[in-house]
Chains A and B, each alone.
Chain A
Amino acid sequence: MTEITASRQSLLLPDARTRSRNAAEKRFRVYGMIAIGLAVLALCVLLVSIVSNGAGAFQQTFITLDVAFPEDKLDKNGNRDPAEMAKVTTFGYAPLIKSAINARIQAEGIEIEGLKKPERMISKEAAAQLRNFVLSNPEVIGETRRFEVLASGRVDGYFKGRVTAESAKRDKNISPEHLVLADALKNAGALETRFNWKFVTWPDASENRPEASGLGVAILGSFYMMLVVLVLALPIGVAASIYLEEFAPKNRFTDLIEVNISNLAAVPSIVFGILGLAIFINFAGLPQSAPIVGGLVLTLMTLPRIIIPSRAALAAVPPSIREAALGVGASRMQTVFHHVLPLAAPGILTGLIIGLGQALGETAPLLLIGMVAFVREYPDAPPEGLFDPATALPVQIFNFTQRADPAFVERASGAIIVLLIFLLITNSVAIYLRRRFERRW
């Protein structure tokens, strides 16, 4: 019988060393909770600041006006020749807006002392809106029509709390009298602040009219690029990972390729932009600012990020499946495509979607291929549209933050919200697919 040398204390009472080990565990749990707390706090601060700044971008102030279209101004010869009518530029339409707002002020019986230039209430976009309307509906000349036009960025800012009577005094673009007029028009029902889909659908606008700027071109550009990435990166990435995982012999050469793929995933994305500029634009002669080039660059960037999880997914399929398939006489290719690939598909899809999400949020490589630009024309439908200039969502955010007019601050945050929603959707799809189809052995 061995001698009992341990303490004679009861086993139910913890001794000093047990207590210290238990305390260490408790401390570690507290550290963990602090870390999670900090991360959640940072996320909350970020989300709250973005949403509180950006929610305003989805609201816009509109003013309803009765605009008269006098024939002597818009079609002097009276023959409704489209070419002749097109000669009247947007500058020719500005006076119509001026008289329309003056008429409205009179009709409502609003009198404000010291009010000058009430047309400053209206966005400069209105002239273009009227011109396009008249050119496509020449029959309205000589008539008066009711129009809803955008209010200027300053008036809009007043209803969002960005502009006050105090700040208007110091601002050359608006006066406190304009704000009084804005309130009067609102009471008369001629002015309304409401949800604005145009922020999502309209193209970018210049600094003179922040109220008319939107994300339409950027969203289309991002979508086209994702299309290119999907069409190229999925087959290439999956083919590469299947070959490497299932068919390639294990030798130094394939080892080298494996190491390189892992390294490529860690290369800073701007490097791919430089590569894209050199290969696709300077050498291949593809156009600048085009989604096809952006898509190709992002494909290069995303490929290793798709290959690595795809290989992991293939490797996770148990060898017994392969052996069973081979055992009943399937060829290796049949084994892979009939049995291994379908079982690995959820993992491959997750990797693909996360890779696409990363590509969607990427700005740096696009800087060098001319996509950080002011683009107002929507690209055509693919495939031709892939070669038209466009921007991308993260680029549009970058552009908005650089502008002088304070109204662009909320639009930048609004664009971030849109981008976050897209990312949230892609990630949710990835999680759903994983949950739905994942098999465990």
Chain B
Amino acid sequence: MFAKLTASTLAIFALTTTVSLARDQVQVAGSSTVLPYASIVAEAFGENFDYPTPVIESGGSSAGLKRFCEGVGENTIDIANSSRAIREKEVQACADNGVTDIIEVRIGYDGIVFASQIDGPEFAAFEPEDIFNALSDQVLIDGKMVENPYTSWSAFDSDLPDADIIAFVPGTKHGTREVFEDKVVLAGCEATGAFDAILSANGGDKKAAEKACIKLRNDGRAVDIDGDYTETLARIDANPIGVGIFGLAFYENNQDKLKVATVGGIAPSTESIASGEYPVSRPLFFYIKAAHIGVIPGLKEFAQFFVLDEIAGEDGPLAEYGLVADPELADTQMLIEDETPMGSGT
């Protein structure tokens, strides 16, 4: 028995070294916001082409781009999904590892919405100022920055319900957090005049003022959610007065449990985001390693399929799921067709 087992062990070791490791499926990793779109496209791609269905991993935009930049070769990923544009530092890191030609593909836009339990208090309309006043660490009262004293929404805006402030915001590892800080908290900071007050107090240091603006209160009323939107939804389910931050697509799939608030008087919808009226939105991207095109079968075809009008256009399955179609999709299609890398003067 023992001898046989040893033989099989050896056989396995021999296999690991002899089986050719050519990869025949596209490997994708990155943003969990892009993941559902990518998996919808991958599924349709696998159904309609002879290429195998691409393998899609999530893990976050930064983690995906980090793996993307690890180098060129079959044991590195081909595509990184990202809910933000690639950073200068990441392009540099890529270049250091030999990943030079990167094709940037914008697939559309995603809205970020404020939603609360459907039977909860009437959170119908938010202004960026409200969010800033409710959640910021320091607010402007009588011309001075003070520790946030508000405990209920109606304390600073009589139109809002008289409910205790509790909000579930995405944790700092999420790309959503960055958009929330830039487009809501910072905008509210400027609109309430707090930004100018901080600026005049610290002698005109804009960076420091921005940093102070987006610092959220830490007395337990602004709760960081490090998990996914499903965790935020569970918290809202358990807490009728809580306000949560979701992606538009997630909200649209859970409309029976959530009601959404307008921001700046505009209700979030694919239309209002496409037209740019709804203020809190961001583009979604994926990045292709140009060096892998022609090496990994189906890579270019998958990218082309992703941005087809039938898929990413206004009536495609992605829009149905909640993606806001990119009006410049035709340019993106050309970009992939010509394999134009980033920074080549386009």
* Residues of A in contact with B (beta carbons under 8 Å apart): 86, 89-91, 124, 128, 131-132, 163, 166-168, 170-173, 205-209, 228, 231-232, 234-236, 238-239, 281-282, 284-289, 292, 337, 370, 372-377, 383-384, 386-387, 389, 401-406
A370 to B75, CA, bound (A): 11
From B21, B50, B53, B77, A286 is in contact (CB under 8 Å) with B21
A236 to B13, CA, bound (A): 13
B7, closest chain A residue (CB): A235
Query: Chain A contacts of B27 at CB under 8 A?
Result: 288-289, 370, 389
**Contact segment of B54-62, B99-107, B324-332:** B54-62
Tell me if B12 and A206 are in contact (CB < 8 A).
no
Query: Chain A contacts of B32 at CB under 8 A?
Result: 402
**Chain B residues touching A, range:** 35 or more
From A228, A285, A286, A377, B46 is in contact (CB under 8 Å) with A377
Tell me if A383 and B15 are in contact (CB < 8 A).
yes
B170 CB → nearest A CB, Å: 14
Tell me if B57 and A370 are in contact (CB < 8 A).
yes
A361 to B2, CA, bound (A): 28
Query: Chain B contacts of A239 at CB under 8 A?
Result: 2
Question: Does B271 belong to the interface (CB within 8 Å)?
Answer: no
Tell me if B46 and A207 are in contact (CB < 8 A).
no
Task: Tell which of B12, B77, B317 has the most Cβ of chain A within 10 Å.
Answer: B12
Query: Chain B contacts of A166 at CB under 8 A?
Result: 256
A292 to B13, CA, bound (A): 11
Tell me if A404 and B317 are in contact (CB < 8 A).
no
From A171, A235, A375, B255 is in contact (CB under 8 Å) with A171
Contact indicator per residue, chain B 1-17, by CB within 8 Å of chain A (1) or not (0): 01001101100100110
Tell me if A235 and B229 are in contact (CB < 8 A).
no
From A206, A209, A234, A402, B230 is in contact (CB under 8 Å) with A402
User: From residue 37 to 66 of chain B, which have CB atoms closer than 8 A to chain A?
Assistant: 38-40, 42-44, 46-48, 50, 52-53, 55-59
Question: Does B35 belong to the interface (CB within 8 Å)?
Answer: yes
Tell me if B40 and A206 are in contact (CB < 8 A).
yes
Known: A90-B48, A206-B39, A401-B230. 14 other contacts (CB 8 A): A86-B50, A128-B47, A206-B36, A206-B43, A207-B321, A281-B75, A289-B55, A289-B57, A370-B55, A372-B57, A377-B53, A389-B25, A404-B250, A405-B253
Tell me if B23 and A372 are in contact (CB < 8 A).
no
Total contacts A to B, CB within 8 angstroms? 135
Task: Tell which of A86, A376, A387 has the most Cβ of chain B within 10 Å.
Answer: A376
Tell me if B36 and A205 are in contact (CB < 8 A).
no
Question: Does B344 belong to the interface (CB within 8 Å)?
Answer: no
A160 to B250, CA, bound (A): 22
A236 to B38, CA, bound (A): 41
Query: Chain B contacts of A231 at CB under 8 A?
Result: 5, 8-9, 12
Query: Chain A contacts of B194 at CB under 8 A?
Result: none
Task: Tell which of A90, A166, A231, A373 has the most Cβ of chain B within 10 Å.
Answer: A373
* Residues of B in contact with A (beta carbons under 8 Å apart): 2, 5-6, 8-9, 12, 15-16, 19, 21, 23, 25, 27, 29, 32, 35-36, 38-40, 42-44, 46-48, 50, 52-53, 55-59, 74-75, 77, 118, 228-230, 249-250, 252-257, 310, 317, 320-321
Tell me if B230 and A208 are in contact (CB < 8 A).
no
A171 to B314, CA, bound (A): 19
Tell me if A131 and B47 are in contact (CB < 8 A).
yes
Tell me if B254 and A404 are in contact (CB < 8 A).
yes
Tell me if B249 and A372 are in contact (CB < 8 A).
no
Tell me if B47 and A90 are in contact (CB < 8 A).
yes
From A86, A288, A386, A404, B36 is in contact (CB under 8 Å) with A404
Tell me if B249 and A208 are in contact (CB < 8 A).
no
A295, closest chain B residue (CB): B12
Tell me if A207 and B36 are in contact (CB < 8 A).
yes
- 29 inter-chain pairs at a CB distance below 8 angstroms, sorted by A residue, are A89-B44, A90-B47, A128-B47, A132-B47, A163-B256, A205-B43, A207-B36, A208-B43, A208-B321, A228-B12, A231-B12, A232-B9, A235-B5, A235-B6, A239-B2, A281-B75, A286-B16, A287-B21, A288-B77, A289-B57, A374-B42, A374-B55, A374-B56, A375-B55, A376-B53, A377-B46, A384-B19, A402-B58, A406-B254
B97 CB → nearest A CB, Å: 12
B248 CB → nearest A CB, Å: 11
Query: Chain B contacts of A124 at CB under 8 A?
Result: 317
A204, closest chain B residue (CB): B39
Given contacts A172-B252, A206-B43, A289-B55, contact A370 B29 (CB under 8 A): yes
Tell me if B230 and A374 are in contact (CB < 8 A).
no
Tell me if A404 and B256 are in contact (CB < 8 A).
no
Tell me if B36 and A403 are in contact (CB < 8 A).
yes
Query: Chain A contacts of B39 at CB under 8 A?
Result: 206-207, 374
A48 to B218, CA, bound (A): 38
Task: Tell which of A163, A375, A377, A404 has the most Cβ of chain B within 10 Å.
Answer: A404
Tell me if A377 and B52 are in contact (CB < 8 A).
yes
From A208, A235, A373, A387, B57 is in contact (CB under 8 Å) with A373
A234 to B2, CA, bound (A): 10
Query: Chain A contacts of B40 at CB under 8 A?
Result: 206-208
